[in-house]
Amino acid sequence: MEEMNNHHHYHQLPGNNNEEIEGPSSQKHNQNKVHLNKYAFAGAILASTNSILLGYDIGVMSGAVIFIKEDLNITSLQVEILVGCLNVCSLIGSLASGKFSDLIGRRYTIMIAAATFLIGALLMGLAPSFSFLMFGRVIAGIGVGFSLMISPVYVAELSPDLTRGFLTSLPEIFITIGILLGYISNYALSNLPININWRIMLGLASIPSIFVAIGVLAMPESPRWLIMKGKFDEAKQVLIRTSENKGEAELRLSEISQAASNFNKNLNKGVWKELLIAPTRPVLKILVAAIGVNFFMQASGNDAVIYYSPEVFKEAGIQGEKQLFGVTIIMGIAKTFFVFVSALVLDKFGRRPMLLLGSSGMAVSLFGLGLGCTLLQNSNEKPIWAIALCVVAVCANVSFFSIGLGPITWVYSSEIFPMRLRAQGSSLAISVNRLISGIVSMSFLSISEEITFGGMFFVLGGVMVVATIFFYNFLPETKGKSLEEIQTLFEDETN
């Protein structure tokens, strides 16, 4: 990582030594072999590590809550509030992070995210009572909100066009790895005394946040943020490092500078006014696409299925804590495998095909899960094939989520906004994501008690059918285009 700090040895770009600079389209078609830029990759890895924190919390809480309920003697309603409040409070972080990251830069916003989560994790691990535990969750939630918005935006702004899909999928890969680590932590610590195990499970989340806060020091700042602040030399140095050649760096610099001059022209309009009060038709279409994909990501019930998977499996007839946690580890492995597959092929096949495959696959899996749960509920002997159907359907559901909505929501909502609206537009879309996630995870058990788990999964399957239709009609393909070109994609469609 030391070379990341090595700002003194950058080459200067030639002024214009009659070097032919290719246009965007010719350049893209000439590069048959796409190289992964190591410097951009290292920056993306460091920024995305923050996302392990959210994943770990989702995974570990699914098991920890069983012990918290017993140890602190709390009701099912308190369990829902405890689980869901992290998502609702992350709304505060994601709304604030847009403004913060425009003011102090993307790097330091990542540092704030890590530090806030660190404090929250320590408070949860040391909690003597339910109210203290809730306070820790609120603080951790604000950190999660910061992290969810800033990591994909930073990575999208740093990445070369042809590998942006893969690099911007990294936050979702890290969320998924975090979920798996949470499941493993449940399994490994479940035999400890009940007043200790859940505290260690939750407190362990503080470890990655220390590494993130230190890692930020080695990261370059986003070149687009530097140009917005008029720091052209620094931006030029980062672009040389993250481009294939000097020609490409020069091209990216001129595209971003052009977009930045539009940004400065529009400064007096005010970002929120342009987003919400008087949006142009292209901005409105971008908002509908970004908010829509974030809404359906959480309305799919994916977070709730993961948070409450032990409850679902218990209902399906799988008994014993070790067995329950063992099944959730299988689910975590399936999820992790498919998010890697998706990230690797996202820049080849494009956003749309992967999203449509993922959401239609989720619809089928959720209907299968609804059927399995309904059969089990109405039979006394709990047939093995119906239990197997439930386990396979849950694993298929989270796998299809990892193929489509999981990674592509972050990729899409961080790349489609124009530069002047990117930070605050993304923060608005991700706030919708957090709000829906909170509503779903805080009501999942209550609604399931009223209409059964089977009924709940049939409803979620219906939601995914609507989502598939929405994606088909409102989300244009963005693969291989520069962030500046994507903006014109929405303009072209309206003309």
For 398-409, the pLDDT digits (tens) are 899 989 998 898
Tens digit of pLDDT for each residue in 445-476?
Answer: 888 888 888 899 999 999 999 999 999 998 88
CA dihedral 131, 132, 137, 143 (to 10 degrees): 140
Q: Which positions ≥6 away from 484 have C-beta within 8 Å?
A: 255, 256, 258, 259, 419
For residue 215, pLDDT over 50 is answered with yes
In which band, very low, low, confident or very high, does the pLDDT at 135 lie, cut at 50, 70 and 90?
very high
Please write the tens of the pLDDT for every residue from 337-395.
998 888 888 888 888 999 999 999 999 999 998 998 888 888 777 788 888 888 889 88
Q: Which of 55-59, 243-247, 366-370 has the lowest mean pLDDT?
A: 243-247
Q: How many CA atoms lie within 13 A of 24 on its CB side?
A: 15
| Cα 22 from Cα 60, distance rounded (Å) | 50
Distance separating the N- and C-terminal Cα atoms of the chain: 47
Q: Which residue has the higher pLDDT, 34 or 222?
A: 222
The pLDDT confidence band at residue 264, using thresholds 50, 70 and 90, is low
Mean of pLDDT values over 56-78? 84
How much of the chain exceeds pLDDT 70, in percent?
A: 90
pLDDT for residue 265 is more than 60: no
Please report the pLDDT score of residue 296 as a whole number.
Answer: 95
Is residue 240 within 8 Å of residue 246, measured between CB atoms? yes
More confident residue, 8 or 422: 422
Which domains, and CATH codes, for the chain?
A: 37-219+266-494 (1.20.1250.20)
| Proportion of the chain above pLDDT 90, given as a percent | 14
Q: What is the pTM of this model?
A: 0.77
Per-range mean pLDDT, top range of 43-57, 258-272, 311-325:
43-57
Give 428: exposed, middle or buried? Use CB within 10 Å, 0-12, 13-18, 19+: buried
Contacts of 389 (CB under 8 A, 6+ apart): 368, 369, 371, 372, 375
Measured distance CA(159)–CA(243) in Å, rounded: 9
Give the residue-averaged pLDDT of 26-55.
73
Question: In sequence order, what are the residues at sequence separation of 6 or more whose Cβ sits closer than 8 angstroms to the Cβ of residue 447?
Answer: 456
Instruction: Name the pLDDT band for 29 (thresholds 50, 70, 90).
Output: very low
pLDDT tens string 156-165: 888 887 888 8
Task: Answer with the residue of higher pLDDT: 430 or 296.
Answer: 296
The pLDDT score that the predictor gives to residue 152 is 86
Q: What is the arithmetic mean of pLDDT over 327-337?
A: 83
Mean pLDDT confidence for 293-313? 84
The pLDDT of residue 495 is 41
What is the reported pLDDT for 14?
36
Task: Give the chain's length.
Answer: 495
Highest mean pLDDT, choosing among 18-27, 41-50, 302-311: 41-50
- Whether the pLDDT of residue 294 is over 90: the answer is yes
User: Measured between alpha carbons, how far is 235 from 259 in angstroms, rounded to an integer?
Assistant: 14
- What mean pLDDT do residues 269-280 have? 75
pLDDT at residue 33, as a whole number: 56
More confident residue, 76 or 129: 129
Provide the pLDDT for residue 241.
84
pLDDT at position 266: 54
Segments of 283-364 assigned E as strands: none
Determine the pLDDT at residue 357.
95
pLDDT in tens, 10-26: 333 333 333 333 334 33
Backbone angles phi, psi at 18, to 5 degrees: 50, 20
Average pLDDT of the chain is 81
328 in the Ramachandran plot: left (φ > 0), alpha (ψ -120 to 50) or beta? alpha
Identify the three-state secondary structure at position 270.
Answer: coil
CA distance 160 to 168: 11
- The structure tokens listed for 407 are 């990674």
